[in-house]
Amino acid sequence: MRMPLIALSLASLLALPAVAQETPLVAGTVKKIDTAQGKLTLDHGPIKNLDMDSMTMVFKAGDAAMLKTIKPGDKVKFTADRVNGQLTVTKIQK
């Protein structure tokens, strides 16, 4: 009886870091959209999961359709991560 209980406890503890590392929303302003390249330029606050300070930079769009929902000047909240080695916006909302 003890062994299954210990295994269950360990499995619960191992699952915690995955939940704790959920990608945070970051505030930003859309500066430029390049639909041909699938990229967008954002002036953004700190991105903790990427260990990045506030700055303006170009990101790859995780989904080209997201570029149709925004325009330069929009205030947005977004998530970004490294996808195949590229800094990528994985979610964006006005």
User: pLDDT tens digit string along 27-76?
Assistant: 999 999 999 999 999 999 999 999 999 999 999 999 999 999 999 999 99
What is the reported pLDDT for 2?
52
- pLDDT of 4 higher than 80: no
Indicate whether 31 belongs to any domain: yes
Strand (E) positions, 35-74? 39-44, 55-61
How far apart (Å, rounded) are the C-alpha atoms in residues 71 and 94?
A: 10
Mean pLDDT within 75-81: 97
Indicate whether 17 belongs to any domain: no
Q: Within 13 Å of residue 17, how many CA atoms lie on the same side as its CB?
A: 4
What is the reported pLDDT for 20?
42
Which domain does 86 fall in, by range?
23-93
Indicate whether 78 belongs to any domain: yes
Indicate whether 35 belongs to any domain: yes
Indicate whether 59 belongs to any domain: yes
CATH number at residue 40: 2.40.50.320
Give the total number of structural domains in the chain: 1
pTM greater than 0.95 (yes/no): no
Indicate whether 4 belongs to any domain: no
Indicate whether 16 belongs to any domain: no
